[in-house]
Structure 1
Amino acid sequence: MRFSGLMRSVVRTGEEWSVEVGEDWAQGRSLFGGLQAALAVRAMRDLRSIQAPLRSLQVAFLAPVPPGPVALRARVLRTGKNVQQIEARIVAGEDTLCLAIGIYGAARDSRIAVLPVQPPVPAGARIAMPHLPGVTPDDAPSTLPAPLRLPFVPGLTPNFTQHFGVRWLHGSLPLSGSRETRQVLELDLLDEDGDPLDELRVLALADFIPPIALNWLTTPANGSSLNWMVQFLRDRYDDLPPAGWRVHADLVAARDGYLDQSLSLWAPDGTPAALGRQAMTVFG
């Protein structure tokens, strides 16, 4: 099921929300983290009383969320004049698998206006190529005349990647043995239902990029996300297309199997959409 269909199929029963998610949204033994965050915000949407945009989201990935029936609970933590904070959890019985806190804030008059500027993609970027079926016949890094389109390879690339169109603009592919610490990808969210863009879809786009530390490896290794913080920089997204989004990500630090990664998400018109910071584990 495509993204829009999943969001529309979320059902509320009393104080709990539920949805059935297929294997096509899996990332290893858990659901794609961007989808988990989007489902949490989907539940928050039903409780929001302040008609203000989502300004910040903090997510803790506590345990794997397997494909199949997914249950959520949500509650309002605090409502002020301009700001409302809402908590949502993905649960299995009394166990919390994913915890999210969303901050919704009304716009205020301010003389302060500072926004990031999109960094350029280095000219003649070299992309380190691993042995990936359907990607390239060459083992050595190559200078590509056009962006590399990353295919969905069943059994090799995570299942959820089939819902995205991916063009690798800069950096190294996972398991290429490169020491690169920056990646730039151009993304399309493949969603034939054609629902307008919103913060739910922005979350899916922002979380697509894999741990950059995987570039350093040449054999598969276990890894997972521990937490994720996203700051939203636009009030609305329904005036933007689902294609042509760009993600810039940097590996900031890595030690003892834990790593810190930052990202910026850019809308197709070149304006900044979101900033993110994530703690992950990669053992290898």
Structure 2
Amino acid sequence: MSIASLTDPITAEGGNTRFENLDHWLQGRTMYGGASALVAYTAAIKAFSDLPPLRAAQVAFVAPTGPEVDLKREIVRQGRNVAQVRSEIWCEGKCTLTAFWLFGTEREPNAVHDAAPVDNWPGPPEEAPDTMTDKGPAFIRHNFELKRAQEQRGPGDPVVRRWARLADREGLDPVSELILLGDVLPPGAMRAMQRQGPISSINWSFNLLETAPETRDGWWLSENASQHAAGGYSSERLRLWNADGKQVLDGMQSVAIFG
């Protein structure tokens, strides 16, 4: 399923929308979280085309999202510099995703400092070996290329780090690209699990450090790190860097750990 097939069915009017050939974007019985977040984001920016650049978002994955949806969106508040927009996906009369998007114009800075450089730089993506070839859930096999970006394999420190890029990103703006691939990796807590079992993202919040992020050949360094795991849940920090090691996204996620 191409990126256009995922975004083109969405109209400025929202409402009832159907996506065809959704199998390539599935994670278990629901749409992959990055894809459903992109649907909600696209619904917002198509409805309100004069928004300033995206700065941050809060996304809640409430229930499984299928191919037939009802898209709802509204401007909660629009001030002189900041606009806050809510968009929701509904399936069969129930909300399956709700998202809150923060858009803001650039202002004269009163504080300036760069994000810290990436720890344990793995080297450029061009030198990294491929991984997850013909493995993993459908959305990865059909839509992403992954390369190894850490020596660690199997159990150990609860951190998963990979180079990732979309197999087809034609016509996709860079912010939409980050939303689509920002949730691509399994949680870092996977390395601390005592036995294999299903996992499920519950929410995802992030800040964009660049409003027009750029990288080389589509490669982004993605990292999920568990900060704390107990009681069937993990608190994860999600970060993205470009191919030169400049951080472009900083996020948090709550993940349900089953089994």
Match of 1:10 in 2: 10
CA drift of 1:240 comes to 4.2
Match of 2:103 in 1: 104
Deviation sequence 1:39-93 (CA, Å, 0-9, x none) = 1000000233643111111011111113x22331111111111111111111024
The yes-or-no answer on 1:47 pairing with 2:23 is: no
Deviation sequence 1:3-59 (CA, Å, 0-9, x none) = 2432123234x4415240511101111111011111100000023364311111101
Match of 2:158 in 1: 181
Cα distance change of structure 1 residues 99 and 147 upon mapping to structure 2, 3 Å threshold: same
Amino acid at match of 2:239: S
CA drift of 1:184 comes to 1.8
CA distance in 2, matches of 1:70, 1:264: 30
CA drift of 1:110 comes to 1.4
CA distance in 2, matches of 1:43, 1:242: 27
Normalising by structure 1, report the TM-score: 0.81
Which has the greater radius of gyration?
1
Cα distance change of structure 1 residues 202 and 109 upon mapping to structure 2, 3 Å threshold: same
The yes-or-no answer on 1:161 pairing with 2:136 is: no
CA distance in 2, matches of 1:215, 1:93: 36
* Structure 1: gaps (5+ residues): 125-145
CA contact (8 A) 1:184 1:248 kept: yes
Q: 5 Å matches for 1:171-250?
A: 172=152, 176=154, 178-191=155-168, 194-217=170-193, 219-237=195-213, 240-241=215-216, 243-250=218-225
CA contact (8 A) 1:265 1:273 kept: yes
CA contact (8 A) 2:59 2:204 kept: yes
CA distance in 2, matches of 1:123, 1:227: 28
Cα distance change of structure 1 residues 200 and 123 upon mapping to structure 2, 3 Å threshold: closer
CA contact (8 A) 2:11 2:47 kept: no
CA distance in 2, matches of 1:84, 1:242: 32
Residue identity (%) = 24
Q: 5 Å matches for 1:18-57?
A: 18-21=17-20, 22-48=22-48, 50-57=50-57
Normalising by structure 2, report the TM-score: 0.88
Match of 1:80 in 2: 79
CA distance in 2, matches of 1:62, 1:20: 19
Q: 5 Å matches for 1:64-143?
A: 64-66=64-66, 68-121=67-120
CA drift of 1:208 comes to 0.6
Deviation sequence 1:256-284 (CA, Å, 0-9, x none) = 11100002111234322111100011123
CA contact (8 A) 1:6 1:19 kept: no
Match of 2:130 in 1: 149
Deviation sequence 1:148-180 (CA, Å, 0-9, x none) = 422343xx611110211101211655xx3x032
Deviation sequence 1:196-224 (CA, Å, 0-9, x none) = 43211111221111112222347531221
CA distance in 2, matches of 1:61, 1:282: 15
Match of 1:138 in 2: none
- Provide the aligned length of Structure 1 versus Structure 2: 254
- Please, what is the CA RMSD of the aligned residues? 2.3
